[in-house]
Structure 1
Amino acid sequence: MTNINTSDEFPYEGRCAKALKELKECPQLDVSEANFGSITEPLDDADDIFESLAEWHELPLDSEVRKNFFRFNEIEAYWCSSHPDSEMIGEFSLTHLYGSVEEKHMDDIWEGNDDWERELYGELRIFDDTPRSGTGRMATLRATPGTTNPEIWFFDMRAGAMEMDLDYRTYLDTLLITKGAIGWQYLFCDEGYGHPGFTPLADGLKEMLDTFPRLFPDYDYSELQARLRERM
């Protein structure tokens, strides 16, 4: 990971840099990617971004969303366990908030099978994806006109879209705790063991929550462990 010009004005950037450094320095993980993208004008001006989202996209987003604003066009990581028998793998590919709303429309990829899905997908904007592993799993925010703190929906091509029990800020916070372990989002969805999307990922999530408290002791995994127990 190259030297990154993060800013104290945007504390999430520093927290991301710490998480990526932790990945790179962990001998139990093989890390293929742990990088920041670029910063370009006008995406570096938070005031202008939020004003534009309100004016041009009818999204008057509140301070909770703003607290985890980052200026980079993308932040990404891709890793797996160095143990040959491990089920643990992780990836995230975060897109700048404005880029997500402006360019990453779910209905450009999936049209939906009925009127309800087509309406939903027409409002979903992808902000976290898995392009390297190609798992077909991604996180989206629902850009309903007038919303101040958008719903977060997880999409799995095996199961469709599922609303998550968290908001945008909490999603980004939890991403740093899980390091993007594949399927961690299911811990905030209603689906549990027996569900075609969750079940193949259960062993990897269990391994992550057994292992990460030792590998990354600065983070609290107790809520995630409790959520996994509820779903097993």
Structure 2
Amino acid sequence: MSDTPSSYEVRVAASMQALSDSAFFRLGDHSISPLSGVRTDTGSAAREMSRMSGFPLDGVDRLFLGADEIHAIWRSVEGPLIVGEFCLVHLHKSFTGDEFPPDDPTLPASDYSKLGALKVIDSEPHSGSGSVTGMYMTESAQHEIWFYDAGLHRLERLDLDYLAYLDAVLVTKGTCGWQYLFADVDLNTTELHTTAADLNVMLEKFPEQFPEYDYEPLRQRLEARL
């Protein structure tokens, strides 16, 4: 993401406004919560994250949001029903606060262990889906982004880093299941049929609703997974 973190809030606010202005959507609860506590001091926040996580998080402050939390939920009101939600939290809160990943003992052992180690960066709290996206720190202190689909009991690594994930939220507006466009999956399966259909609606409707974004890369990702 080429923008500085402080400009991200400007962009996401504009994205929320575009959802509100469009006759195709009904924007529900939405908010951008201001920074509070130690998160107002990026240096102190980064040091506390490193100390509590046990990872040398050099340069992590460049990934910080300029808000404690950014949340929006919406649904379409014209044509096929699709819904979306995102709830992005400051990384300091992810690493040191009360953002805990869900528990799912039905997962294979390796995935279950990874799910428990995720630092939650995005969730769907109002929809009640239980799905989350999290950051996983490898032994070499590199980060990976993983998506947990609670309804389907799936954990998938995404072909995105953290800043690219933030950009993708702006483009997709948090359409439910958008993360599968960046996972190594076959969407032409029975359990992912509804997700694929929703993503197809998104890619049919969004280009005319939000012409400032290029949706062709996402269309290509969808086609590659069908």
Equivalent of 2:20, from 18, 24, 46? 24
**TM-score, with normalisation over the residues of structure 1?**
0.86
Match of 1:212 in 2: 206
TM-score scaled by structure 2? 0.88
- Aligned-residue offset at 1:105: 2.8
What is aligned with 1:199?
Answer: 193
Please provide the CA RMSD for this pair: 2.1
| More divergent stretch after superposition (11-20 vs 176-185) | 11-20
For 1:105, the equivalent position in structure 2 comes to: 100
Describe how 1:1-232 pairs up with structure 2 within 5 A.
10-61=6-57, 63=59, 66-83=61-78, 85-102=79-96, 103-106=98-101, 109-111=103-105, 113-144=107-138, 146-148=140-142, 150-157=143-150, 158-195=152-189, 197-232=191-226
Q: Given that residues 129 and 137 in structure 1 are in contact (C-alpha distance below 8 angstroms), is that contact kept between their aligned partners in structure 2? A: yes
Task: Letter of the 1:169 partner, please give it.
Answer: L
Deviations 1:210-231 (A, max 9, x none): 1111111111111101001111
Quick check: 1:12–1:70 contact (8 Å CA) kept in 2?
Answer: yes
3-state SS of paired residue (1:10): helix
Contact preservation (8 Å) 1:10, 1:68: no
Secondary structure of 1:110 counterpart: coil
5+ unaligned residues in a row in structure 1: which ranges?
1-7
Task: Give yes or no for contact 1:181–1:208 (8 Å, CA) kept in 2.
Answer: yes
Q: Do the aligned residues in 2 keep the contact of 1:11 with 1:68 (CA within 8 Å)?
A: no
In the superposition, relative to structure 1, how do residues 54 and 146 fare at CA in structure 2: closer, same or farther (>3 Å)?
farther
The residue type equivalent to 1:74 in the other structure is E
